[in-house]
Structure formats: structure tokens, C-alpha cells
Structure 1
Amino acid sequence: MARPRPTEFDKKKIVAENRRARFDYFIDEVFEAGIVLTGTEVKSLRFGEGSIAESYAEVKDGEVWLINSNVPEFSHGNRFNHEPKRPRKLLLKERQINKMHGAVAREGMTLVPLSIYFNEKGKAKVELALAKGKKAHDKRDTIKERDWKREQSRLMRQHG
């Protein structure tokens, strides 16, 4: 029997985080994917530059691609510098890719990157989530619940 995988990945250094994703989407399942980068992209990410705020992932020809993520050009890069918004290939197992493709095609879900980070071995990874979009009333409920939790903790501190 295979051992269970941890739900939280070993993140050493978070480079870019999509904080809005958890507000805009219901997160169903989270995957850890490797990312194919060139040398200057890795150097830019190690300096903490990069953004995945408006990015998404799509399954094309049995491969998963990260679209619209921004890794700015490396300041000391020369003519070998990279293009900042190029599509980047994500490395996943075939079974995971098939699962994502089925969910996106049948259930109308979206592939949303949650964060880019370096793991303990120094490899760049992307935390990718299968998500379903929230409607406006769902977002209002989320805000209401968050405010109530904040109020609850404040009351507990005052009277506890």
C-alpha cells in the first residue's frame, strides 16, 4: 500500500503567491508541479521577483502549461535573457494530467496556480489547484465568515 502524501508541501522559500485565488475560487484539490525554467528565470526567481496574479494553467496535447505568469528579465542577464511572459511547461505525472484534463473538460473547473516556491532541495515548484469559480454571493459569504471569525477571536481575547 502506498503511503499517504502530505497535503502541505515542504516550502522553503515562497517567491510568488496568488492570494486572491482563495477568495475568487473554491479550491478542490492541490497539486505540486515542477516547472521548466531557463537559467535567467531561475536567477530572477531566486531574487524574489515574479508574479502569478493573473496567471492560469491549461492542458494542451497531454501537457500542462502555465500561461501569463510574469518572471521579469534578470538584471545582469545579457543577450541570453528570457521573455518575461512566455508560457512555461509544468511537470506532472500522466495520471495527474489526465485527472486535471477531465475535471476541466467535464466539470468546468479551472487550473489556478496558488504559489511558486523553492523546495528544500532548491527546485522551483508550482502549487497548482483545481478550482471552481465563486459567484458574488459566495464571495460575500466568505467575507462575512472571515469578519465573524476575527470578531470571535477578539471577543475571546478580551474575555478569556
Structure 2
Amino acid sequence: MAKFGKDDVKVLQTNRKAYFNYEMVEDLECGIALTGTEVKSVRESRFSFSDSYVKIDPDGLKLISFTIQPYTHGNIHNHKSDRIRRLLAKKQEIKKWRRKVDEKGFTLVPTKVYLRGNLIKMQVSLARGKQLHDKRASLKERDMDRDARREMKLSNY
């Protein structure tokens, strides 16, 4: 059996709703400042992206409304599930993204949570909102891809 190495990546969850509602322009890998029981819950994939976003404060990036469920084997010292968490990124990256968000009307959206070695990382994307007709086009494209895969599967038999 192969060992999970230091540079291996295991994706825990992807924010599919964000990919539907936003057009992703650029990605950034950030660490998340978590407490002990939060780490254990995230490793069990007990979290949700529902309506979460990233805000740029003077002291760094803040992850807002990202819910991590309480650890099942925790005790009275379990964490709050809806607290604001700090994202860890380099100052130059934060400055560059602050300029883009202020000038061009982009927003920062968490798109993926994964393990890199034994560290929990989050991919944050610089995103622009989609219009209704863009969403319809992506739905149509997804349906056409599904039909094409179905036809290929049936033609192989």
C-alpha cells in the first residue's frame, strides 16, 4: 500500500456552487488557522461552504461563514462552528489581491479544501459574478457533455 507523502494532495471538498455562480480568474493557496478539534472535523470532511466568502482586513484574510461541525468525539472544549477564521497568505499576495478586489469589482471565494501532506490548505479564487445567461449556457454545456458521454458509453457496447 502506498504511503501518503509530503507533497501529495488529497481533495476533501470542492465548492461546486461557486463554480456555477462565479467565473474564476485566478487561484491562491492559503493555510487556515484552526484549533485542535476543528482540524479533526475537517479531516473527517465535516464542513460546508454554504455562502462563505473571504474578506480582506488590514491584518490579513478572513474566512467568513465557513461552517465546521463540532468534532464528534470532542468534549466541552469543542470549537464554535461558525467563527471567523484567519487565512494564512503572504503579504505581497494579499496586497495584490486587495488592489484587484477594490478596482475591478472582483470577489474572493473559497473553492477547495484539501490536505497537502499533513497540512490543511484552502484554495481561494478571485472571481467575477456570472450573469443569468452565462449560467444558462453552462447548464446547457453540462447537459450536452452528459449526453455525449452517454452516447459514447452506449456505442461501446
Q: Which TM-score band (shorter chain)?
A: 0.7 to 0.9
The alignment yields a C-alpha RMSD, in angstroms, of: 1.8
Secondary structure of the corresponding residue to residue 12 of structure 1 = strand
1:147 to partner: Cα distance: 1.9
1:17 to partner: Cα distance: 2.4
Secondary structure of the corresponding residue to residue 51 of structure 2 = coil
**1:11 aligns to 2:9 (yes or no):** yes
**TM-score, normalised on structure 2?**
0.87
Choose from 89, 93, 97 the match for 2:90: 93
Task: Extract unaligned runs of 5+ from structure 2.
Answer: 1-6
Choose from 58, 67, 72 the match for 1:70: 67
Structure with greater proportional strand content: 2
**TM-score, normalised on structure 1?**
0.85
Letter aligned with residue 44 of structure 1: S
1:153 to partner: Cα distance: 3.6
Residues 158 and 46 of structure 1: CA distance in aligned 2, closer, same or farther (over 3 Å):
closer
Choose from 124, 131, 146 the match for 1:150: 146
Structure 2 Cα separation of the partners of residues 51 and 74 of structure 1 = 14
- Among the aligned pairs, what percent are the same residue? 40
Residues 141 and 10 of structure 1: CA distance in aligned 2, closer, same or farther (over 3 Å):
farther
Letter aligned with residue 91 of structure 1: L
Contact 2:11 2:112 in 1 (8 A): no
- Aligned twin of 1:3: none
- Aligned twin of 1:47: 44
Structure 2 Cα separation of the partners of residues 13 and 154 of structure 1 = 27
Deviations 1:123-148 (A, max 9, x none): 01101100000011110111112222
Secondary structure of the corresponding residue to residue 98 of structure 1 = helix
